[in-house]
Structure 1
Amino acid sequence: TLDANYRSTPELVAAVNYVFERADRQPSGAFGHKTDEGNPLPFIRVSARGKARRLQRRNESGEWQPCPALTGWALPRDSLLAAGHFVEQMAEHTAEAITSSLNAAQLGDCAFFDADGEMTALRPQDIAILVSTGDQAAVLQQSLNRRGIKSVYLSDRHRLFATEEAADFHRWLLAIAEPQRQDRLRAALGSSSFARHWGELDAVRNDVRLDEDTSRFMAYQRIARHQGILAAVYQLMHDYHIPARLLAAPLPDRSGERRLTNLLHLADWAQNEQAQLAGLDALLQRYAQAVSDNEAEHELRLEQDEHLVRIITIHSAKGLQYPVVYLPFLPLIRPKEANKNSTATPWRTSTGRGMSLGEFPEAIAAEHEA
């Protein structure tokens, strides 16, 4: 666990520390694991090492005032909303808040200030709204459109196949499909997602080492045919210590956690596609088509999406950074049920951890009953 946050502003880190430290004093603790015998998963306070950059707005007197680092919206306790109405209401609140901030920015009244006092106006692309589903994204876009605010929904698939991990995953699939081909095997072993240093890459030329790798990939091929590509990829990542390597070697534009998440998404996608196809060759063709389709779509959307408010799933946003973030539907997140047939390895955690806010008990109950 890292004891320092190098991304968020000091004010946000302090706010999160405050919220979770208070939650940790509750009988069940911050994460629901606290008992009379102790707390195996306590909240650990972190220090702030991020940039001192803060959003500010002018008040009615014309003076600049810092915006709160963390703001929560609470419905009245006697307010009972069905899940659909709750989404609509929170979408309207979110759209109104964003419109107000962007209008102020156009007037020169809402901007970021760096530690040296340099001012940068808030822009639409600085804002991200995190959602759980495409339906929530659609409701948000409607609310924003009514106010003349353009947005783009960055779906998991739209971003996923444009990543470097997507190219690496393709190399893995090729090597699993034909492990006897040394060119494919070397390409997989030399992919950036293996996060190998130069000495290890040079060792790939060693025939004895390559024979060992060939045997491994032949085993992955058998697993892929009998248990599915997901199980094969999990075994590959375990054997070559991919998670630990990626987490220890982040790239300038993507954290190791983000890279690992991309690979897991790709493995899930491949497993779903394989269930509808006949053999690894068909899966390879389907994967190549998905990458090609995404590239064509990406070229068409790249320029027009550049200056829009971002809407993205919480799952897909893992490891990414945005200056201003809204999470309007947090109370509706359901804990993800464990799959009894799952072959997930211990280092893979649930992506749907639930969270309940004290001011929304009725709304949460209504959502669970819906």
Structure 2
Amino acid sequence: MIKSAYLHIPFCEHICHYCDFNKVFLKNQPVDEYLDLMDMEMKNTLEKNKANELETIFVGGGTPTALNEKQLEKLLDSVQRHFPISHEMEYTFEANPGDLSKEKLLLLKEGGVNRLSFGVQSFNDDLLKKIGRSHRKADVFRSIEHAREAGFHNISIDLIYSLPDQSINDFRETLKTSLSLDMEHYSAYSLIIEPKTVFYNLMNKGLLPLPTQEEEAEMYEVLLDVMAANGYKQYEISNFAKEGYESRHNITYWDNDEYFGIGAGAHGYVNGNRITNHGPLKKYMDAIKETGFPYKETHHVTKVESMEEEMFLGLRKSKGVSEAIFKEKFSVELISVFREPIESNFAKGLLERHEGHIRLTKKGKFLGNEVFQAFLGVI
């Protein structure tokens, strides 16, 4: 049963130096036509794949809140027409602290959105400028205040650490400032240098002064300790929440469940198929006009691939992979399929068995990618 949908808005007013997501500058783009074709994709997708009422919707980008009020209202109306909104649903919008006006906040609230995810990244204004962010520390406080006034009681902040020239003390200060806002949810990711980004080009020229691996690991340890000390439960490698405020949408991914992907460059998982939409705006739009669907690639996931995904996605969760659910899904014991990587990582102290789950140890969280790799290509 498909219970989630991801919608992609690829427009940005500024392009951050680290970002490799599918995005374009907003100026002079055919935004309204894009929204019309997204509406058509939603309609055609649901006609092709009957779905029950969704439990989560996540609108990401790009910068969804870069849309003007009329465009934002158009998008919200499309979502409501195709995906009935209920009070029980988790309906998230990503937002940039610098462009979320009171009027847009009220539109989102009236449209059924009940969760906001702010791309804050840092509370150091010099660092924000260095990484290409358009907002500043004061914008975050103002946007959070306005969001609370508009009635939002489920707000998440995204942070990035191991930024160029970032010190461990600077990251401590960012965490301290973040926690002073008393958000329901925090995500914190280590900077990854991706191809085709400003940072990638600077790194290749030797002009990107990054923290050492040891400093990056220390920042992660600081993150774990500070979040725990402030009562936030780590429920995934990079995600922390007050009780009951875990991101249900992201758990869909980590549980290896199916979901719709709508919009340019969006990915979906439907009826056993991983579907990738065309990313370039023109290709996405032309494909919908010609065929009704913007699919660039459809890959049927084999049983072996699905079992591997169950492991490297599920091990991101603090509770790990359920042995009972694995057997229910695949009609085989988890340990019998992955005995060698499990026992090997038990011996290294990177995995442990806890209450019917295989999960990362604290040591394993620092070496997660190494553990995940161990489950690929062994069946």
TM-score, normalised to structure 1's length?
A: 0.25
Q: Of Structure 1 and Structure 2, which has the larger fraction of its residues in helix? A: 1
Q: Which structure has the higher relative contact order (CA within 8 Å, separation 6+)?
A: 1
Select the structure of larger CA radius of gyration. 1
Q: Normalized per residue, which structure has more strand? A: 2
- Taking structure 2 as the reference length, what is the TM-score of the superposition? 0.25
